Amino acid sequence: MSRKQKVSGASPWLTWLAWAVVLGLLAWVYTPIVTGMVANWWVDPNYSHGFLVPLISAYLVWRQREELAAEPKKSNYLGLVIVAIGLAVLVMGQLAHEFYLRRVSLIPVMWGLVLLAWGWHVARRVLFAFAYLILMVPLPYLLYDAVAFPLRLVAAKFAAWGIRLFGIPVYLEGNVIHLPNIVLNIVDACSGIRSLISLLAVGVILAYLILPNRWVKVIVVLLVPPVAVLTNALRVTLAGVLSQWVGPETLEGVMHDFVGWAVFMAGFILLLLITLLLKKLSPAGKEAS
């Protein structure tokens, strides 16, 4: 056997060894970051949908398995640049003690490795599936608080208006609703940010899977905040009315959880109906029918 043949025979093994080392180092770096994020999903109901996001992302890749197998595969060294950018974000997160940056840095690192290993044609097809993973990362507290507080005020205002429709006297003071027999304080858990985050994950995937046109997909995503605000105001309204008609015990326990679940499902159904309606009204949808 010639020297050239020996080198070419050893080359694949060296490549696999290099990949094993790289993936091992990344696993060592990111395992505590990912486990911390999973713990966040477990203890914080606002992000419990995080368990589903990676599964949905994996499904989006799996449903394209035949197309991915047929794509030409050639290493693209631009992937190293993407990986470097992701690692730079990780370092920034470490230096700033910012959990969000550390966690979100994993996404460009993984996509960059796909680009490096299999090339642009494959990486392009899985780009949305990787971008969808952003929705599993808990928001920075400053951003969360900046969104939650105005939502509390909006929820209180709409709920006060809704409760008055049932003939119940209401006095609104900021995010506090005064009723004849109880005071409802609209805290962060009642602000609607939980349903906003969860419905955003739902709306994005509905738009991606059902709608043919990019701009129509954007419309569905833009409609998520109004739907979340509307359904959360309905939830607070029902809570106030039930507390008056049945008793304050409806504000906690099984009844409270059931109302929250039922209203979230109403928001999901509303988003689905909007998506199906837009599909029917879009030019591609009319041609299909």
Residues 196 and 276 occupy one common structural domain: yes
**Which band of pLDDT confidence, cut at 50, 70 and 90, is reported for residue 9?**
very low
Are residue 125 and residue 147 in the same domain, yes or no? no
- Report the domain count for the chain: 2
CB-count burial class (<10 Å; 0-12, 13-18, 19+) for 255: middle
- 154 and 195 share one domain: yes
Please, what is the end-to-end C-alpha distance for the chain in angstroms? Answer: 65
pLDDT number for residue 253 = 67
The tens digit of pLDDT for each residue in 26-61 reads: 999 999 999 999 999 999 888 888 999 999 999 999
- Across 154-180, average pLDDT: 87
Rounded to an integer, the average pLDDT of 89-102 is 94
Do 100 and 232 share a domain, yes or no?
A: no
Mean of pLDDT over the chain: 86
250 and 133 belong to one structural domain: no
Burial per residue of 206-222, b for 16 or more beta-carbon CB atoms within 10 angstroms, e otherwise: bbbebbeeeebbeebee
pLDDT at 286: 54
Same-domain check for residues 46 and 111: yes
- Do 79 and 112 reside in the same domain of the chain? yes
Domain identity same for 260 and 197:
yes
Residue 52 lies in domain: 3-138
HSE-up of 198 (CA within 13 Å, CB side)? 25
Alpha carbon distance 186, 153 (integer Å): 8
Residue 70: strand pairing partners:
none
Q: Which of 138, 167, 197 is the last residue of a domain?
A: 138
176 and 134: one domain?
Answer: no
Q: Average pLDDT for residues 124-128, to the nearest whole number? A: 95
Which two three-digit tokens encode residue 269?
């159904």
Mean pLDDT, rounded, for 215-225: 90
Q: Are both 276 and 149 inside the same structural domain?
A: yes
Query: Tokens in use for 18?
Result: 């290099």
Can you give the three-state secondary structure of the chain, one letter per residue?
CCHHHHHHHHHHHHHHHHHHHHHHHHHHHHHHHHHHHHHHHHHCHHHHHHHHHHHHHHHHHHCCHHHHHHCCCCCCCHHHHHHHHHHHHHHHHHHHCCHHHHHHCHHHHHHHHHHHHHCHHHHHHCHHHHHHHHHHCCCCHHHHHHHHHHHHHHHHHHHHHHHHCCCCCCEEECCEEECCCCEEECCHHHCCHHHHHHHHHHHHHHHHHHCCCHHHHHHHHHHHHHHHHHHHHHHHHHHHHHHHHCCHHHHCHHHHHHHHHHHHHHHHHHHHHHHHHHHHHCHHHHHHC
Among the three residues 114, 138, 162, which one is the final residue of a domain in this structure? 138
Q: Which of 138, 170, 202 is the last residue of a domain?
A: 138
Sole residue written with tokens 């044609």: 121
Q: Are residues 159 and 209 in the same domain?
A: yes
Identify whether residues 284 and 153 lie together within a single domain: yes
Place of tokens 């992937």: 79
Q: Is the pLDDT of residue 271 over 50?
A: yes
Residue 134 confidence (pLDDT): 95
pTM of the model: 0.83
